[in-house]
A and B are shown apart, each in its own frame.
Chain A
Amino acid sequence: MSSSARSYASVDAVQNLLAEQKYICDHNIATVVYLATQLGKPVLVEGPAGVGKTELAKVVASSLNIPLIRMQCYEGIDEAKALYEWEYAKQLLYTQILKDKISEVTQGAATLSEAIDRITAQDDVFFSRRFILPRPLLQAIQSDDGVVLLIDEIDKADAEFEAFLLEILSDFQVTVPEIGTIEAKRIPIVVLTSNNAREMSDALKRRCLHLYIDFPSPDLELEILILKVPEAGPALMEDVISLVQNLRKLDLKKQPSISETLDWTRALVIMNADSLDHEIVKETLSSIAKYEGDLRKAEKELEAFVQQRRAKADEPVVPAADGGGDLLH
């Protein structure tokens, strides 16, 4: 077993290669990605919704030019959905087709139990790789080249599933009782994401490197915006970012994230707004504030913002040196 053949040369290389995939990240994110690929350890990425956790895994895969295998977690997800399932229908179909063969095998059996014994002896025909349906975890383990395995929203899965995952992540091998042990040829690069709906167990955390992605700084957010919505004008971008950054300081039930910033800017561009001082802007606010209470607060903030802006615009231009004397008279 070895870690992925394709890897990053340095922390700075991570930053550059991700930027090529249109993902802007700070030094910290780049460092953790670099360490994870070098040490062959999973990364647990936590942070508010929409800050680019899922996207990070995707761009790691595309920047290294390896496939991404995604496993979306949900309440009730279990081994069958994550690891493998027997293709029961296919097995059944084969038994129907092979009816004659089967009666050949059981022919001459004196008792029912003898017949069953004979069939059982043929078990491994039906419980072989041919009839296994690999789910994301097994796919990742079986793959010949390196892959990025994205285990998305692990906090949605139950604690039992987390325990199961823990075993897989510690040795990257799976035992299928009927077949044997399947071992990963290459350790996948594993990215787990969580929105913190539930605190992950300490055992899981111990096995992972930890990355907390917070809302971006204004500069970083502007960079992302320039990259992702280049059609927006610079004035609009700056307005959007200062308002969004203000909103994040309020106590909102759901704080606007990068994805909301992007959505909102795109909406504004479509509506031909070149700054926030427009009637229509109010109507688009629902793309950054999803809850009733939040929407009210956002509206207030927008009004304040626009008013301040107008007040500034109305301020008399500071008179040049000769005019300044007037005030003294």
Chain B
Amino acid sequence: MSRWCRRLTAAATCFTELRVEHRIVEFAGLLRRKGIRVSTAETIDAVEAANLSGLQRRETFKNSLRAAMIKRSGDVAAYDELFELFFSGVGELVKAAGESAASGMTPAEFQELLDDIARLLEGMDPELSDLTRALLMQDSGALEQLLRELRDSGKLPQRPGNYVPPALMRELLGAMGAGDLQEDFDRLLAAAEHGMSEEELEKLKEYLARRSRDLNELLKGMLKLDREQADHKENREQERDRLLEKSFYYLSPSEIKRMREAVSALARKLKNILAIRYKRAKRGRLDVKTTLRHSLEFGGVPFRLSYDRRRRERPQVVILCDVSDSVRNVSRFMLQFVHSLQDIYSKVRSYVFVAEIAEVTQLFKENEIQGAIQRAINGDVVNVYAHSDFGRAFKDFHRDQLEVIDGKTTVIILGDARNNYNAPNDWVLRDIRERARQVIWLNPENASTWGFGDSEMNLYSKHCDIVEECRNLKQLYKIVDILVAA
């Protein structure tokens, strides 16, 4: 290989690397827009990883980027989807369009044709457009670049259907810095007429027609791809917003599933916040008193040093969930939420009630979380078809369980306070509050209806530190903020 040639190859590799780098940076931007956090450092890692493991094998490329940029197993599905969308996009289109370019020719014949065209192009004055040259010379790299620039320029119109009218086609070509494609072709043919045989000329004409069709297909494909990506984005965002505001009362099974995921994401977020908060503890300080006490065993020599290691106190939670028909969904998510946080709270004890009250803590120890929730609310532990009787549930709790509450306990009560005109027994709440660190009441009913009819909310809220409406995910987010502050 001549020196010149080697340098050219080096430049070409460098060019591909640059392009890949550019693409990965772009891709990281896309991931971020979809809510996956990717830092700059991680993007650089991804580029290094891609260069190391090579681009030949698509699977390896995909795995490498994922290892460097996706750090949460929950994001993997979204990553896979976006990767396909992004990396199979334009490049694949160009590749597909190039496949038929040589049809009907042997590789040698095709090479010959390309050589002829290269010669013709060189003689053109003024030069033909970049697009025409890339298209005719089968330069998929350059072609891809042009198409990508077109897409990024935002000049692709949003339009339904597959038909691309000629006027739009001209417009798009213009946007890619190409004038009339036909004009370019005509000039090329005119030049070719000198020195090319009839047969060769015919082949060239066929080739031009084919490439023109290919370009047409390419642009159609681009429009479609762009549309898909836009739809995808819109769907996800809409869905998220809708879910936020959606009342817990009316959820389809698939919404319940998504809500579950949202709730566990929320729990994760909360855990992260709390983890950051715990400051890095230095090695405990020397505990002089204990050290001296121990030293007595060794004739006054402080043979064993004691360090004072204050363990942080983790809060405890007791949750009382109304599981009557009207609020069951909310209870479901609240139980899930509280139990996902097990490791932050030193103790979580849960009770469910309608009129009877029963503890379900053990259920959560023995079963996987969704199974436990299902059993807690399906009537196995308390009769869920009874008429709600908060007063009775409270009184029984007071009689049997009051001692589980102490100064470290946050008590969360979830219910609509619709007591069917039974005795409210609000004195129980007063007693609970006296013992507890704080009492929080979450009511899944619209606040404007509290206190009307058989709602005892006004009475009960007097004995609570915090009272909040809790009807949808958005409000649950707010409650999380309160819990974090607590």
A residues adjacent to B (C-beta < 8 A): 11, 27-28, 31-32, 34-35, 38-39, 41, 43-44, 46, 76, 78-80, 88-89, 92, 158-160, 162-164, 197-199, 201-202, 205-206, 208-212, 251-253, 291-293
Are B71 and A205 in touch, CB under 8 angstroms?
A: yes
B76: chain A residues at CB < 8 Å are 212
Nearest CB of A to B220, in Å:
35
Given contacts A78-B281, A78-B283, 9 further A-B contacts (CB under 8 A): A27-B63, A35-B49, A35-B67, A79-B283, A80-B283, A89-B303, A159-B275, A253-B367, A253-B371
Bound complex: CA of A147 vs CA of B48, how far in Å? 23
- Among all A-B residue pairs, the 4 with the closest Cβ atoms: A205-B71, A159-B275, A253-B368, A163-B280
B280: chain A residues at CB < 8 Å are 160, 163-164
Bound complex: CA of A211 vs CA of B66, how far in Å? 9
Docked complex: B277-310 residues within 8 A CB-CB of A: 278-281, 283, 301, 303, 305, 309
| B34-42, B196-204, B410-418, B431-439 - interface stretch | B34-42
B272 part of interface (Cβ distance < 8 Å): yes
Nearest CB of A to B105, in Å:
36
Bound complex: CA of A158 vs CA of B314, how far in Å? 13
- Which of A43, A202, A206 has a CB less than 8 Å from the CB of B272? A202
Nearest CB of B to A257, in Å:
15
Nearest CB of A to B235, in Å:
26
Bound complex: CA of A211 vs CA of B69, how far in Å? 11
| B52-60, B421-429, B458-466, B477-485 - interface stretch | B52-60
B residues adjacent to A (C-beta < 8 A): 37, 39, 41-42, 45, 48-49, 52-53, 59-60, 63-64, 66-68, 70-73, 76, 268, 271-272, 275-276, 278-281, 283, 301, 303, 305, 309, 311, 343, 366-368, 370-371
B277 to chain A: closest residue by CB: A159
Nearest CB of B to A164, in Å:
6
The contact sample of 14 A-B pairs, CB cut-off 8 A, is: A27-B60, A31-B53, A31-B60, A46-B73, A80-B283, A92-B301, A160-B280, A198-B275, A199-B272, A205-B71, A206-B42, A210-B71, A253-B368, A293-B366
A32: chain B residues at CB < 8 Å are 63, 67
Q: Which of B41, B49, B311 has the most CB of A within 10 A?
A: B49
Bound complex: CA of A92 vs CA of B368, how far in Å? 53
B279 to chain A: closest residue by CB: A160
A201: chain B residues at CB < 8 Å are 272, 275-276
B37 to chain A: closest residue by CB: A202
A27 to chain B: closest residue by CB: B59
Given A212-B76, A293-B367, the answer on whether A11 and B53 have CB atoms closer than 8 Å is yes
Nearest CB of A to B367, in Å:
5
Nearest CB of B to A214, in Å:
8
Bound complex: CA of A119 vs CA of B384, how far in Å? 77
Bound complex: CA of A88 vs CA of B294, how far in Å? 15
Nearest CB of B to A175, in Å:
14
Bound complex: CA of A210 vs CA of B76, how far in Å? 11
Are A206 and B41 in touch, CB under 8 angstroms?
A: yes
B369 to chain A: closest residue by CB: A253
Given A35-B49, A35-B53, the answer on whether A159 and B276 have CB atoms closer than 8 Å is yes
B303: chain A residues at CB < 8 Å are 89, 92
Bound complex: CA of A35 vs CA of B64, how far in Å? 8
A76: chain B residues at CB < 8 Å are 309, 311
